[in-house]
Amino acid sequence: MEGESAVIREAIEADLDGLLSLYTHLHDNPIPDKTEELLDLWRRILRDEQHHIIVAEEDGRIVSSCVCVIILNLTRRQRPYAVIENVITDPAYRGRGLATACLNHAREIARRENCYKMMLMTGSKDEQTLRFYERAGYNRKDKTAFVQWLE
């Protein structure tokens, strides 16, 4: 089974360093200084019942992850929806089903929370990446995404 040698779980406080290290593979994101503001942000994320960071741990390392945020909603019979972000796998561990296992765990959370849909956006134009998301159950036909950067 895909991802079977890894433990798929939600992040815990001790995972911060491993997660920040993994995120360096996401848009060439540098590891931030471990300031009190960063630690406060991490604690706030962990306390937020709607914010789920799913990780794949193998050999004591965080090697894949995604974020699933549950958005409360007044439409669709007041059912929430889920947004998936920051899907990443360490390049040395790719092709082993770890990201798929993380996404599947996110889907379990979304179902448990009675979400009516999950949304995922990617900036990738790589056809292999787009097919990966389609194999994971997402489609590129139902919605059109727009992004407005606020930086």
CATH number of the domain to which 16 belongs: 3.40.630.30
Tell me the CA distances in angstroms from 74 to 52, 71, 78, 117, 138, one per residue in order. 21, 10, 4, 14, 24
Is 124 among the domain residues?
yes
Structural domain of residue 126, as residue ranges?
A: 7-135
Is 59 among the domain residues?
yes
Is 151 among the domain residues?
no
pLDDT digits (tens, 9 = 90+) for 100-127: 999 999 999 999 999 999 999 998 899 9
Is 37 among the domain residues?
yes
Is 150 among the domain residues?
no
Angle between helices 127-135 and 98-112 (to 10 degrees): 40
Question: 4: pLDDT confidence band, cut at 50, 70 and 90?
Answer: low
Structural domain count, the chain: 1
Q: What is the DSSP letter of 57?
A: E
Euclidean distance between CA atoms 128 and 122, whole angstroms: 12
Is 2 among the domain residues?
no
pLDDT digits (tens, 9 = 90+) for 8-63: 999 999 999 999 999 999 988 899 999 999 999 999 999 999 999 999 999 999 99
Torsion angle in degrees (nearest 10) through CA of 102, 25, 143, 126 = -110
Is 71 among the domain residues?
yes
Residue 150: CB atoms within 10 A of its CB come to 4
Region of residue 78 (phi > 0: left; psi between -120 and 50: alpha; otherwise: beta): left
Is 111 among the domain residues?
yes
Tokens 């059912």, residue located: 79
pLDDT at residue 86 is higher than 50: yes
Supply the pLDDT for residue 1.
45
pTM of this prediction?
Answer: 0.93
